Structure 1
């Protein structure tokens, strides 16, 4: 949450944005919810984005709000990106029903290693993010829809995945992803795709390349031991979306394994399946997983630690206090996110 953007530019543009949103909402037969897309590194994305989210919550207190965040490169985009990220995420945790995150580092690797792009542009990065979001938000059948496309995918996504107010962080993976020139020469099977996606979930692999096939979910007495020692990615809830040919023949039982999930929710409550026989983006078969799990625990912890190290020496804090963001606001944000980290760390 940038200082001037939140405190100055947000209020200055509030009326204009609210009027634009009002016009769109009035055109809807049924408001499924609102999705705000923003970055968190700094500037307009974090500051104005957070302020507008707060306005939307005030205007539509009963509507679902999903925030889509682009996480900054760990090597740094702006010097105060960790401050902005901490302030933004702490505020959004109070306002949003769910927060879907794309990490720039991960998307960059997909462009480089999977799509073989040599000189990666913002357009390339945006195409990968758009592909993954499209694979989530395109129409699909839910398990109890009886062949009728969902009329409220945003609400059903949030309801299925953000079932506890302490756990709102969602990550997304999509396979396959390859250069368009390679698609015609590739074959895909549901067992192969689902096996890869399940292991990506377990080992917290962001791409098919580099999957740790040795990782397994702890079971029985192993659950009582430190999960950190296993490196296993425990889930609270997962949404699996299958699109393409012969989709109704796909066997998804591996994602219903209770060992994948926290012990205080049944796998029936934790796992949701959507399907569509319509091909997506030229792929004969494709699998997308939206996961509320420990996948974002490490980048979140790294971001909070880096911001705290700067705050301990009061580096750049004056840039915020002169616009009304106090040191107490920083401390409250640190406390809020440390609680989120602790909650995800203790999933068992």
Structure 2
């Protein structure tokens, strides 16, 4: 596998971001890549360890950020376990981050965006910047920053928002892609609507693209398709990590049959899908979802993978169970997209029929199919004979934003819990401004 250089520094923030990041790197490192170490097969995300005796091992290009030491310490220790030592490990915890724990008292952010943004930001912001600078110095050519964070709590949402702004100021020419995890719609954090609204409002200003991942959708996939009766957070993270990893294995364009395969750089991905500053929300849909115990007995043709995936994109649904097959492009009301990237993995991908995607993926001002890129590789992913995913900048996330604003407005009208945010410098006007910004985003997507 050959890849173009262009390094991605992953910034894992908060408990959710760090746990998801660990499983994301595990997914990248678990696939067969011949005798090459990961720093050769995946130089975008891994770098060489300088010690000669460790040339077969790789160190991921990552910065681990949290307001308390428990999770990041456990993750770093796990990466040193014997079963992992032949593949990859995390960088050692940076001293600047360790010292910052003394400033914040090694405690969480009480599920408060304002506390994470202001209190933790004041204590940890410069320390995070210093840690990122050290990791950037190990890059021959920095391409982008890849953030992993949650929207519901305080550290991932609040401190994550501040870190995005700090890195935008420090590295204005580098791209930022944020993979954000939306909380359960019936989550147990009563102020998660405030946190999500404030976080998204800030990230829409500082980032180049926001890839929305959803706990509700991952839970459905686990319980209904993978046969997990009571999905844990680890199960959800595994589904989300596999979906993210599927984007970054080497591919080539269907139009460039003689070119070698290479990994997609985030700068290319964001330039292609998020060219409009008014539209930055990305959706990721993948098929098939098959339990490991059933892989050996499952044979799928390309039509069986791509037809449901096209209908999922058309309807904005997240899995091939419960699909509305009655909706079609001729109905007029469907999930319109500005741009999309379709990735196919498996034998015969060049001949797979993708016309259905061209028929349904276009905004009102574009020609059918002009905004669809088709890329692929004969290499299998996760033992699946044939698999596919589609990354699209489309209207489906705007509908979820609408529901989020309804919950935020209900809290705001009752002035519920606002005093907890005012204590750390976030006023009613700040909440109103964030809501107004998201309302404008919803309007922009509805007018596609």
Aligned to 2:134: 23
- 1:239 and 2:350 are equivalent in the alignment: no
TM score, norm. by length of structure 2:
0.72
Match for 2:280 among 143, 146, 168?
168
More contact order relative to length (CA 8 Å, sep ≥ 6): 1
What is aligned with 2:356? 254
Q: What's 1:130 paired with? A: 241
Contact 1:42/1:78 (CA < 8 Å) preserved in 2? yes
Shift of 1:298: 2.0
Say which structure is richer in helix. 1
Q: Is the 8 A contact 1:102 1:129 kept in 2?
A: yes
SS of 1:238's partner is: strand
**How far does residue 18 in structure 1 lie from its aligned partner after superposition?**
1.4
- CA positional deviation for 1:254: 2.2
Deviations 1:292-318 (A, max 9, x none): 111112221011111011111211111
Q: Does the Cα contact within 8 Å between 1:5 and 1:48 map onto a contact in 2?
A: yes
Contact conserved, 2:361 with 2:369, CA < 8 A, in 1? no
What secondary structure sits across from 1:101 in the alignment? strand
TM-score with structure 1 setting the length: 0.93
Contact 1:161 1:291 in 2 (8 A): yes
Residue aligning to 2:328 = 216
Does the 8 Å contact 2:113/2:153 carry over to 1?
yes
Residues 94-149 of structure 1 show CA distances to partners (whole Å, capped at 9, x for unaligned) of 01110001111000000100111012111101100011001112222135654233
2:304 is equivalent to residue 192 of structure 1: yes
Q: What is the DSSP-based 3-state SS (H/G/I as helix, E as strand, rest coil) of the residue aligned with 1:319? A: helix
Aligned to 1:286: 387
Greater mean deviation of Cα atoms: 181-190 or 152-161: 152-161
CA contact (8 A) 2:362 2:371 kept: yes
Contact 2:178–2:211 (CA<8 Å) still a contact in 1? Answer: yes
Pair 273,11 (structure 1): closer, same or farther in 2 beyond 3 Å: farther
- Backbone CA RMSD of aligned residues: 1.5
Which of 222, 245, 267 is the matching residue for 1:155? 267
Q: Find the residue that maps to 2:143 and give its secondary structure.
A: coil
The equivalent of 1:52 in structure 2 is 163
Partners of 1:111 and 1:191 in 2: CA distance: 23
Offset, 1:151: 5.5
3-state SS of paired residue (1:16): helix
Q: Which moved more, 1:132-141 or 1:91-100?
A: 132-141
How many equivalent residue pairs?
336
Secondary structure of 2:247's aligned partner:
helix
Q: Which residue of 2 aligns with 1:207?
A: 319
Q: Which segments of 5 or more consecutive residues in structure 1 lack a partner in the other structure?
A: none
8 Å CA contact retained: 1:171, 1:292: yes
